[in-house]
Structure 1
């Protein structure tokens, strides 16, 4: 069963069409976050290391271009939606982060589930300067593409004779990083809540 799945995945991933697929899915993921672009890029990165196909640098390039273009679609959707987004929980979180950290949150949010789309929509809706958005987004898109391809590549190198295990290792690394990021956010949120609780007690 595993061999059949692996062969099917190999036939797709080693096809020249894989670059267009990565580009399209990375783009869609910018404003339709149910599309798993990171999983696809990690998978192709693992195959690039273990089989030599697809080309890792070309894969990185199309993933970054797709991600950046998808973010721009989301940004302009935010511009058009404007105030209609303000009641959403994700919007309120992103707005708070944007007010505190500016464009830097765009880079960080890319590694937080659901954070990327909420942030790009918010930046658009709040009229964040487009040139600054472009600068931060190019950096965010490139860093994400390098991270995703590299994670898959590390897995592929570690299990060069067994791409399926390499894929599992790559996905495991990605999930671990995501869990660490979420844990750090949780701890910081708890620490920030303590002073607020103290202020409320004093005010009472």
Structure 2
């Protein structure tokens, strides 16, 4: 363990760490298996002792996340755009893209900011926003808000752990990661509760039309494209 912490100390306090942090945050935007959040938290822990410095950690992590989100958006714009244009009206895929386009138009900015805190969710959202043609100017604005808030969140979580366990960085990293997992779990719990409540509020569909309502015509066969 002492040998491992020595390697981590050497890596995090190296001047090259800033460049690596930027690259990892960028790659994580379109290849979500890179542990960018863990790296930001670790950097925050060590920033409590002065090296690396907290401000560059936040700036470079945010810049990398902003760049990575735009790479994912452009991939979605190019590849997904062809899928959208190729979806025939009346098919399930066409309906799904229509729903995604309406949802992004109504709440796309909020979804993008929240998804930045959901592992894997950020890439799915940025790809979808590109595929449905979400306006680039609005995307860039909300991507900046998401990236800066995410970088501050991760770095400050680590910084809190570093201050609490200044003589034991490993415990500081554990505290920072634990807090991050706790926040992520709380977000997921809220999302799950809202989905459950929405399903309950919607209620079962009525089997019989009410007074003055027309009974829907029975379908004889499958619709074209199904």
Same fold, judged at TM 0.5 (above) = yes
Q: Secondary structure at the match of 1:203?
A: coil
Q: Secondary structure at the match of 1:161?
A: coil
* 1:102 to 2:102 alignment: no
Residue pairs, 1:182-193, within 5 angstroms: 182-193=188-199
Q: Tell me the residue number matched to 1:31.
A: 30
Mark the runs of 5 or more structure 2 residues left unpaired by the alignment. 88-92, 209-226
Distance in 1 (CA, whole Å) between partners of 2:98 and 2:29 is 19
Aligned equivalent of 1:149, options 146, 152, 155: 155
Aligned residue pairs total 197
Going from structure 1 to structure 2, the CA distance change for 1:100 and 1:59 (only over 3 Å counts) comes to: same
Q: Tell me the residue number matched to 1:73.
A: 71
Aligned equivalent of 1:167, options 173, 182, 186: 173
> What's the RMSD between the two structures over aligned residues?
2.0
Structure 1 residues 127-171: Cα deviation after superposition (integer angstroms, max 9, x where no partner): 111111111111111000000100000000010111110110000
Q: Which has the higher helix share?
A: 1
Distance in 2 (CA, whole Å) between partners of 1:113 and 1:131 is 25
Tell me by how many angstroms 1:101 deviates.
1.1
Tell me by how many angstroms 1:97 deviates.
4.9
Tell me by how many angstroms 1:98 deviates.
2.2
Q: Tell me the residue number matched to 2:19.
A: 20
State the 4+ residue runs in structure 1 displaced beyond 4 angstroms: 91-97
Distance in 1 (CA, whole Å) between partners of 2:98 and 2:154 is 28
Going from structure 1 to structure 2, the CA distance change for 1:43 and 1:179 (only over 3 Å counts) comes to: same
Mark the runs of 5 or more structure 1 residues left unpaired by the alignment. none
Aligned 8 A contact 1:94 1:115 in 2? no
Tell me by how many angstroms 1:92 deviates.
9.6
Aligned 8 A contact 1:97 1:105 in 2? no
Calculate the TM-score normalised by the size of structure 1: 0.90
Distance in 2 (CA, whole Å) between partners of 1:144 and 1:95 is 25
* 1:117 to 2:117 alignment: no
Tell me by how many angstroms 1:104 deviates.
1.5
Aligned 8 A contact 1:95 1:119 in 2? no
Aligned equivalent of 1:179, options 172, 182, 185: 185
